[in-house]
Chains A and B, each alone.
Chain A
């Protein structure tokens, strides 16, 4: 059974701090990784995708991927109360070359609370 694991939290950080969210996955051939943000009672929203080892930055968000360790993380710099949400990690099963539709494997999410 392919799995994506996240700490459920809640992760609590003060406003202005760096929030670090972690995700591990079991499918060694996965090559596509995604972070979604979900506010309470709302639908998920894609905030970052990463396909290569290393860091990818977009504004206050940085995604980090280490395929050898099967580990992907999301850093949120200068955390704001509006960042308080559940962050879902998702991994495409299988290799990019497969060509066929590859399902997303979802983690249960980490709840983040940013305290003013």
Chain B
């Protein structure tokens, strides 16, 4: 079955450590996205990528980094520079970068202790 796989689902890290969240899709979608969701807040865009080897900052990119070396993969690194990293992280993909029809992974819940 086609879909998006995020891992790990739950992650605990100490303050000051970098962590990398994995996102893999087998939908043959060109565009991929990373969102962050906090309680009582809407989805906020961290980074997005329309094609391989290209990505753009979203609204809250500070303290995060991404790469898009393969069409299927769009990993997100939460660096120690991110001041409030505890959140629910959602990876999504879409057929192209111009549509709002997104398919989401199951999410990764990061807790920084």
Chain A residues packing against B (C-beta within 8 Å): 32-34, 36, 42-46, 49, 88, 90-92, 96, 98-104, 106-109
Evaluate contact between A43 and B99: CB separation under 8 angstroms.
no
Tell me, rounded to whole Å, the shortest Cβ–Cβ distance linking B46 to chain A.
Answer: 12
- Given A43-B90, A44-B43, A108-B42: A32 and B99 interface contact (C-beta under 8 Å): yes
C-alpha gap A34/B102 in the complex (Å):
10
A-B contact count, CB below 8 Å?
A: 57
C-alpha gap A32/B100 in the complex (Å):
7
Q: Of all chain B residues, which has the CB nearest A44?
A: B104
Chain B residues packing against A (C-beta within 8 Å): 31, 40-43, 45, 48, 50, 56, 58, 90, 97-107
Evaluate contact between A109 and B100: CB separation under 8 angstroms.
no
Evaluate contact between A49 and B100: CB separation under 8 angstroms.
yes
A-B pairs with the 10 shortest C-beta distances? Answer: A101-B97, A43-B104, A106-B42, A92-B100, A106-B43, A108-B42, A43-B107, A34-B100, A104-B100, A32-B100
Q: Of all chain A residues, which has the CB nearest B4?
A: A43
Tell me, rounded to whole Å, the shortest Cβ–Cβ distance linking A23 to chain B.
Answer: 12
C-alpha gap A49/B102 in the complex (Å):
11
Evaluate contact between A90 and B106: CB separation under 8 angstroms.
no
Tell me, rounded to whole Å, the shortest Cβ–Cβ distance linking B57 to chain A.
Answer: 11
Evaluate contact between A49 and B90: CB separation under 8 angstroms.
no
Evaluate contact between A107 and B42: CB separation under 8 angstroms.
yes
Evaluate contact between B56 and A101: CB separation under 8 angstroms.
yes
C-alpha gap A44/B33 in the complex (Å):
13
